[in-house]
Amino acid sequence: MTTLGPSLTVTGDITSQEDITVHGTVKGTIIMEKGALVIAPSGKAEAQVEGSVVTVHGTVSGDLSATEKLELTDTAHVSGTISAPSLLLREGAVFNGIVDMSNKKAAGAAKTAPKLAVAEPAQKAS
């Protein structure tokens, strides 16, 4: 696993075959050939992002494409186009853009029905 620290700013292209967690800033392109990508709560990406599994806790401006699953957690702020066969939007996530679940861009995904889930907090027992 590779971690980009909070004081690190990367400008350019990142291509990886292992998991990456971004706590800093990436400006450019992130291509995950293998492994998962996590944008941490302090992380920022002004980038085109491609991978199989992408989880966003922080801020992303740009297009995101996942071949398996894309998750926006309750602290995520995303603007751009999302392409994924499976998308999970947690309550509190902020998203402004377009969602494409047609599997056209996520070419490596299995030809199954798209899955969209919106998670709500669990009810407290009385």
pTM, two decimal places: 0.81
Q: DSSP labels for 74-107?
A: TT-EEEEEEE-SEEEEETT-EEEEEEE-SSSS-T
- The model's pLDDT over 27-70, given as tens digits with 9 standing for 90+, comes to 999 999 999 999 999 999 999 999 999 999 999 999 999 999 99
User: Is pLDDT of 106 > 70?
Assistant: no
| DSSP assignment letter at 48 | E
Cα 55 to Cα 111, 124, 126: the distances in Å are: 22, 26, 33
| DSSP assignment letter at 7 | T
Number of residues in the chain: 126
In whole angstroms, what is the distance from residue 9 CA to residue 26 CA?
6
